[in-house]
Structure 1
Amino acid sequence: MPRKVPFSSKQKKKQLQGKKKAKCSNWHDEDSEEHGCNDINGGNSGKTVEQINQQPESNRVGSSRKDLNRYRLEFFKDTKESIEKGKKLSTEPHETLPEESLEVNIDEIYKPGTVLDIPKRQSWDYSLKKEELEAKEEKYFKQYLSNICQEHSLGTLSYFELNLETWRQLWRVLEMSDILLIIVDIRHPAVNFSPALYDHITKDLGKHVVLILNKIDLAPPSLVTAWQYYMKEKFPELHIVLFSSFPTHTDLSIQNPGTVIRKARKKRRSTAMGPKELCRVCGEIMKGKVDMSHWEEKIKLQMAGKEPCVVEESDEESEMVTEDCEENNNLMEHKNEGIVTIGCLGSPNVGKSSLINGLNGRKVVSVSKTPGHTKHFQTIFLTPTVRLCDCPGLVFPSLMNKQLQILSGIYPVAQVQDPYSVIRYLAQRLDIPKLLRLQPVCDSSWTAFDICEAWAQKRGFLTAKAGRPDVYRAGNNILRMAVEGKICLCLRPTGFSKMKEFWEVHQETMKLIEEVQQFKPQVNQDSSEGEEEDLSEQESSQERAIGKDKKVGRLCISNPFSLLEDEN
C-alpha cells in the first residue's frame, strides 16, 4: 500500500473551511429557488432571504440506511444585527402595558381565507406508484411555500413547519381518524388553534372536531369559561372539552391570570379531569355505532383510584406505527369494524402525549418539555373498541410575532439567541421583578437586562472565567419558567378585561370550581404530605422502606418484613 501523505492540522482546518463555504453557497443558490423565496416581496432582485428552518438532507442515492433525522428541524441563528438590536433595547426602560394588551384576536393571527392555509394531501389512487405520489406531493409543497413567501415577508411571517415529512404524518392521521381532537393550551388557545385546519376537517373531510382546552390548572376558572364561549361562538361546530392531567394542583382562589408564579407540579399520582366528558362527547358523535361501555368502565375504575386492566391486544388489532408507516397506503380502510379512531392534533408543547397518558391512566407514550419530541404518529388502543392516534406537533403558518411563539412553547427556547427581547415583551405585561422577588440592581427603572442580571445574582448564575452574572443563562431560565407555567402569561379573548367581573361570577365558572374540588390527591403512604415522592440517591434502603407520617406522628412501614432482618 502507498504511504499516506502527512496532513497537518492547518491544512485540515483550511479544508473544512472550504467545504463549509461551498455548502453555504450551494444552499443559497439551490434551496432559495426551491422554496420560491428569492426575494422578500416576490420580485426578481436576486437577493436571497434567510430561511426560518431547513429541510433535513435526504440519504445518498443507493444507500439502504434509514434516515433517522428526516423529522428533525434545523434552525438558523439570528443575525448579528437583530441580536445587537435586542441587546440595545434590553438596556432601555420599558413601559408597563395595560391589561388589554393580553387580549388577542384569532383572526389577526391566522387571517382566515388568505394564503395562510395548510398544505393538503393531493388526490391519489392505488394505481400511482410510491415514487410518483411522493414527487407529486413534493411539487405541490414547493408551490405552497412559494405562494406564502410571495404574499408575506419573513419579517411578518411566523416560524412554521417546513418539513414535508411531518405534514405527511398529519395527512395520514386525518385519513385514518373518525374523530379529530384539536388540543390547545388554555394559556393561549388562539395561538394553538388553526382556523384553516378546522375548515379542512369540517368542510373538506366532513368529520367532527373536538376542541380540548388542556392544562386548565394553569389558568383561572373565569378565563377558562371565557375562552370556552369565545371559541364556541367563532367555530359553532366545535365540541369543547376541558382537560387537566393535574386538577388537584390548581389554586382556584386566584382570579388574576398571569400574575402569580405557579409551583412545580408534584410528582404524585393524580386522576385526570376530562376523560368522562370526552367519552360522553365521542359517544354522542358516534351515535351508538361503537360500543363505549369498556371506556366508561375504565373511567369509573380510574375515578375510584383503582388500576384499570391492561387491554390484551392481538397482532391484528394493534400495531405501533413506526417510521416505515408511509409504506402502508391502505390507511383509509379499518381492519376491524366497530372500532373508532380518535386522532390527537395540535401545536408542540400543548400536551397531546400527556393527554393520551391521562386517558389511559398510565404512561403509554413518551413526553418531554422540548417541542417536537413526538417524531411520528403512533396508535394506542385505549379499549378494544377505541383507538387513539398521537400525531407529531405541527406549527401552522401565521402572523404571530416571534416573542409570543417562544413564550407559548412553539419555538424551542434552546434555539433562542436573543432572550432579552422576549424578557422585555414579558415584563411589559407582567410585573416580573415582583413575581421573582428581585432586588434592584440600580436606582433607575427596571430594564430587561437588569431583570436578567438580578435573577442571575439571586440564582448564582456566574460566568466560568470572569465570575460575572451570567445574564444569558438567567434570561434562558426565565423563559423556561414561562413555558412550563411557573410564570403564567395567560392570553385573553377580545373584550375579557371589560367583562372580567361577569366571567368571575358566571354559572359555568362556579360549576368548574365545584368539579375541580371533587378531585382529591392520592398520596402514597411512603410520601409525606406536601413533599415530592422522589428520594435522593444518597438515601439508604431503610429510608426508602420507612417514611414519617407527619399527620398522625407514627411510622408507616411500606415493607412489613424489612424489620425481620435485625433478628438474624
Structure 2
Amino acid sequence: MNKKNKSNSKLGRSLIKDRFGNKKDRKMVSDNSMLHTTEIQDGYDWGRLNLQSVTEESSFQEFLSTAELAGTDFQAEKLNIKFVNPRSNVGLLTKEELNEAKDAHKKYKSALKIPRRPPWDAETTPDELDKNEKETFLEWRRSLAILQEEHGIVLTPYEKNLEFWRQLWRVVERSDVIVQIVDARNPLLFRCEDLESYVKEVSPNKMNLILVNKADFLSDTQRQVWGEYFNSNGVEVAFYSAHLASLDPSENEEEIITKLSLDDDTFKKPYPLLTREELIGLLRTIHTQTKVTPNVTTVGLVGYPNVGKSSTINSLLCDKKVSVSATPGKTKHFQTHYLDKDILLCDCPGLVMPSFVFSKAEMILNGILPIDQMRDHVPPTNLLTSLIPRHVIEDRYGIMIPKPLEGEDPNRDPTAEELLNAYAYNRGFMTANGQPDNSRAARYILKDYMNGKLLYCHAPPNINQKEYHTWIDRQNTKLENQVLPPRAARAVRPYHATTEDIDKQFFKSNSQGIHAKGIKGLPNAQKVGPSTNQPDEKPWKQHNKHKNKGKKEKLRRVYAHLDQH
C-alpha cells in the first residue's frame, strides 16, 4: 500500500484556506476593510454571517460570554454547591404565586427593554463601533439580570447573540413599516411594546403594525375583541392567515369559505380576516410619510420564532422564497424580497425578545422553545391539562384518562402521568422494559397543541377568559361512563394505595392452622422432640410428598407480584 502523499495534503489545505479563509476574517470585505452597512458599509458582511441563536445558557456559559463581551480575564474559584430536588417544581403556580407574578409584571413593565444601537456616524471607525455595541449590549444584559435576581422576575430566555440584534437594528433602520407578527392564540406574549418605542426613536416617520397571524383559529367575535383592544391602545392591527392564503382556491374552496365565512359578508366587518390581495393593499397604502427608499415602501417583518413569518412571506410572494421550519430560529440573517416594484419585504431573523412569562413550560407550549429539545416534559404537559378540559382531550384522542382516586378532588385536572400513560398505552408507545413511553407521547401531544389541534385562545386583559373561549360538550358519549379494563387500568393508572388495596393485603395474609416449633401452618401439628417416639423423618416433608406444594406456592407468589405491576 502506498504511503500518503504529504505534499498533496498540504496543497488541499492551502486551497481550502485560500477559498474559505480563517473564521476571524469572515467579516472582512474584499479590500480587507470593515465599513458601516450593506449599502454604505457599516462594518458587517451580512451575507457571510454564520449565526447561531443563543436563548438558553448554563450559568457557566453565561459567565464566559459575559466575560468575553466585557473583555476581561477571570480566575475560577470553588463555590458551595446546592442540590435542588427536580420534583419540587412541576411547572404550575398556585393562585397566590400567579397573582404576585402579575403584580410584579405591572410594576416593572417599564424596565423591560430591548438593546439599542449606540449612535454612530461616518467618522466612527469599525473598531469603535464594535466596542460601543458590545458595551451597550453588556449593560443591557446586566440590567435584565438585576431585574431577575433582585426582584424575582421570570423572563423568556432572550436572545444572547449580539449578531441577531445587529440584524434587527439594520431592519429597523432601513424599513418604513415595522410589522410585528404575533400568534392569534396568545398575541400579547409575542408582542414587544418596547420595539414599537424603539422604532419611533429611530425615526418618527416610521410606523408600527401588529399582524395577527393564524387568525383562522379565532371566531368573528374573538377577532372583534382583539381589534378593539389594540385600537384602544393606539396600535394598528390586521388579521391574517398564511395557511389559508397559501391554499389553492380551486382545490380548497369549501375550506376557505368555511373559515373565512365569505357567505356572511366577513370582509364588511371592522376587523376582517384579510386575503392576500387585501393585505398587500394595506401594506402599500399604510405609510404616507417620507420613505427611506424613494417610491418604495420597505416593510420589515419581525417576530418570535414559529409565529409564521416565513409562511407569511411565502404566501404573499405566491412562491417558496423563504425556508419554513417548525424549529425556532430557522432564518439566520435578514433577507429582502420585492413583492412588487413599490413594496420591498425585509425579513428579520426570529428573535426571542425579553418578555414576562410565568414559567418555562409556557414558552414550550407556545412554541418559543423547541419541543424536540425540551429536557422535562412534565411541566408543559401539566400546563396543557390545566388549559384543555378532560373531555376535550379524551374526544380528540379517543382515550380514557383515569379519574381521580378516592379522597382526591373529583373535578381536578388530569396529571401529566395520567394523560401520557393513557395516550402512550393507546398508541403502543412503550419502552424497552414494557412501560409507557411518556416522553414520546408528550412530544406528540404538545405539537398538536402548537399546531392548533388542541385549541386554546387567550383573551385580552379586560375580557373574562371563560366568556371569551367556550368549550363544546362531549362528543363521544361512550367514553363518559365506560370503565377501563383491569389490564389497561393497571397500565395507565399511577400506583396509589387505596383503602380497598390495604384491606385486600391485610386479609390475604390471614392463615389458618396451628403453629408449632419447627412447623409453619401445619394443621393439627404436634410438638416434635427427642422424647417422642416419632421417626427421624421430618413430618412436614412427608405431608408435602408428591404434591409439589412449595413449588406451586412459589410460582403463585411470583405471578401475583407481576400482576400487581
Question: Shorter-chain TM-score: which interval?
Answer: 0.5 to 0.7
Residue of structure 1 aligned with 2:419, choices 438, 451, 455: 451
CA shift for structure 1 position 155: 6.0
1:355 aligns with 2:312: yes
Q: In structure 2, what is the equivalent of residue 488 of structure 1? A: 455
Q: In structure 1, what is the equivalent of residue 279 of structure 2? A: 278
Matching of residues 390-409 of structure 1 within 5 Å: 390-401=347-358, 402-409=360-367
CA shift for structure 1 position 106: 9.8
Deviation string 1:150-203 (CA, Å, 9 cap, x unpaired) is 122376233211111111110000001011111111001010111111122235
Letter in 1 for 2:429: F
CA contact (8 A) 1:86 1:420 kept: no
1:387 aligns with 2:344: yes
1:227 aligns with 2:226: yes
Distance 1:151 1:143, change over 3 A: same
In structure 1, C-alpha distance between the alignment counterparts of 2:367 and 2:179, rounded to whole Å: 20
In structure 1, C-alpha distance between the alignment counterparts of 2:142 and 2:186, rounded to whole Å: 29
Q: In structure 2, what is the equivalent of residue 245 of structure 1? A: 242
Q: In structure 1, what is the equivalent of residue 172 of structure 2? A: 174
CA contact (8 A) 2:137 2:162 kept: yes
In structure 2, C-alpha distance between the alignment counterparts of 1:149 and 1:125, rounded to whole Å: 31
CA shift for structure 1 position 494: 2.4
Residue of structure 2 aligned with 1:119, choices 93, 115, 121: 115
Q: Which runs of 5+ in 1 are unaligned?
A: 1-58, 256-271, 291-332, 505-568
Letter in 2 for 1:128: T
Q: In structure 2, what is the equivalent of residue 151 of structure 1? A: 147
Q: In structure 2, what is the equivalent of residue 438 of structure 1? A: 399
Deviation string 1:330-374 (CA, Å, 9 cap, x unpaired) is xxx64xx32221110111111111111111112111111111111
* Percent of paired sites with the same residue: 30
Distance 1:406 1:111, change over 3 A: farther
Give the number of aligned pairs: 372
Q: In structure 2, what is the equivalent of residue 212 of structure 1? A: 211
CA shift for structure 1 position 233: 1.0
Residue of structure 2 aligned with 1:84, choices 87, 104, 109: 87
CA contact (8 A) 2:53 2:159 kept: no
1:133 aligns with 2:129: yes
Ranked by relative contact order (alpha carbons within 8 Å, sequence separation 6 or more), the top structure is 1
CA contact (8 A) 1:83 1:417 kept: no
TM-score, normalisation: structure 2: 0.59
Q: In structure 2, what is the equivalent of residue 545 of structure 1? A: none
TM-score, normalisation: structure 1: 0.59
In structure 2, C-alpha distance between the alignment counterparts of 1:339 and 1:410, rounded to whole Å: 33
CA contact (8 A) 2:388 2:454 kept: no
Distance 1:443 1:396, change over 3 A: closer
CA contact (8 A) 1:461 1:473 kept: yes
CA shift for structure 1 position 110: 7.5
Q: In structure 2, what is the equivalent of residue 187 of structure 1? A: 185
Q: Which runs of 5+ in 2 are unaligned?
A: 1-19, 28-47, 60-81, 245-251, 262-272, 471-565
Residue 226 of structure 1 aligns to a residue whose secondary structure is helix
In structure 2, C-alpha distance between the alignment counterparts of 1:499 and 1:459, rounded to whole Å: 32
In structure 2, C-alpha distance between the alignment counterparts of 1:107 and 1:251, rounded to whole Å: 43
In structure 2, C-alpha distance between the alignment counterparts of 1:73 and 1:451, rounded to whole Å: 33
Distance 1:499 1:178, change over 3 A: same
In structure 1, C-alpha distance between the alignment counterparts of 2:129 and 2:283, rounded to whole Å: 34
Q: In structure 1, what is the equivalent of residue 10 of structure 2? A: none
CA shift for structure 1 position 121: 0.8
Deviation string 1:439-481 (CA, Å, 9 cap, x unpaired) is 2357636321110111111222121x21321011111221111
What CA RMSD, in Å, does the superposition of the two structures yield over aligned residues? 3.7
Residue 348 of structure 1 aligns to a residue whose secondary structure is coil
Letter in 1 for 2:229: Y
Higher helix proportion (structure 1 or 2):
2
CA shift for structure 1 position 379: 0.3
Residue of structure 2 aligned with 1:71, choices 43, 47, 52: 52
In structure 2, C-alpha distance between the alignment counterparts of 1:110 and 1:166, rounded to whole Å: 28
Distance 1:80 1:280, change over 3 A: farther
In structure 2, C-alpha distance between the alignment counterparts of 1:157 and 1:483, rounded to whole Å: 21
Distance 1:381 1:280, change over 3 A: closer
In structure 1, C-alpha distance between the alignment counterparts of 2:242 and 2:314, rounded to whole Å: 9
Deviation string 1:12-56 (CA, Å, 9 cap, x unpaired) is xxxxxxxxxxxxxxxxxxxxxxxxxxxxxxxxxxxxxxxxxxxxx
In structure 1, C-alpha distance between the alignment counterparts of 2:110 and 2:148, rounded to whole Å: 11
CA contact (8 A) 1:112 1:195 kept: no
Distance 1:275 1:204, change over 3 A: same
1:426 aligns with 2:384: yes
Letter in 2 for 1:231: F
Matching of residues 502-521 of structure 1 within 5 Å: none
CA contact (8 A) 1:245 1:355 kept: yes
